[in-house]
Amino acid sequence: MTKTAVITGSNSGIGLGVAHALAAEGHNVVINSYSDRDEDHALAREIAEKHGNKTLYIKADMSKADECRALITKAAAEFGCVDIVVNNAGIQHVAAIEDFPVETWDRIIAINMNSSFHTMAAALPMMREAGWGRIVNIASAHGLTASPYKSAYVTAKHGVVGMTKVVALETAEDPITCNAICPGYVLTPLVEAQIPDTMEKYGMDRDTVVREVLLERQPSKQFATVEQIGGTVVFLCSPNAEQITGTTISVDGGWTAL
């Protein structure tokens, strides 16, 4: 049966991969970012044309509580309900904690963690009324472990994992599940764009930079792909995952096994 999925932060990278995966299953899809460009709406049309589904782009700044909630209500107004929420929006900044800009801390916490609270709070009443719902929070290996100089990101992702467990318990007797996916390094356009600068910085070739710098903590020495993350989301939304709730699924090449 066709469901409606909202994926935050989904005009590129992991979010876009998830959008394609859910669209390929025949679901309605709402993609999102903070911009409102012709390219954003064209991307929604491309997804619809490729998969034969209905796809809509809705602008929302995920650092703002009212816009997070409005994203859900606008999607429901268009499609009648929001059945699947994939909280993917996120940003990063690297600095020692004593040097971490306060405004940047607040923005990372707002986008990477608080936005998930607002979208879930807005969507859960709809899911209960419809008698079905799936929430998938894209956390990170940094939701289970830590790295130096990433205090805001690590804090936010740990918070997302904790919030996932709380929502799962609150919906345990409903036909609603809430889980978190914890990727390690995923080969996205953003990561790909970092490779040439890293090669220059360390004086290494591409393969060496990937294995010894970017994937230093990923034992498989291979990137996860956006398709693999999308496939994991599809699984969590399938009947086979009806009794999977309140847990994390690591897609990290063994990172958190260390």
153 among known catalytic residues: yes
Q: Are 109 and 155 in contact (CB under 8 A)?
A: yes
- Return d(Cα 181, Cα 143) in angstroms, integer: 10
Length of the chain measured in residues: 258
Name the active-site residue from 149, 153, 185, 202.
153
Give the Å distances, CA to CA, from 64 to 30, 51, 148, 209: 18, 31, 28, 37
Whether the CA torsion 112, 128, 240, 75 is positive or negative: it is negative
Q: Are 49 and 29 in contact (CB under 8 A)?
A: no
Checking DSSP bridges between strand 55-59 and strand 133-138, what pairing results, if any? unpaired
Residues catalogued as catalytic: 153
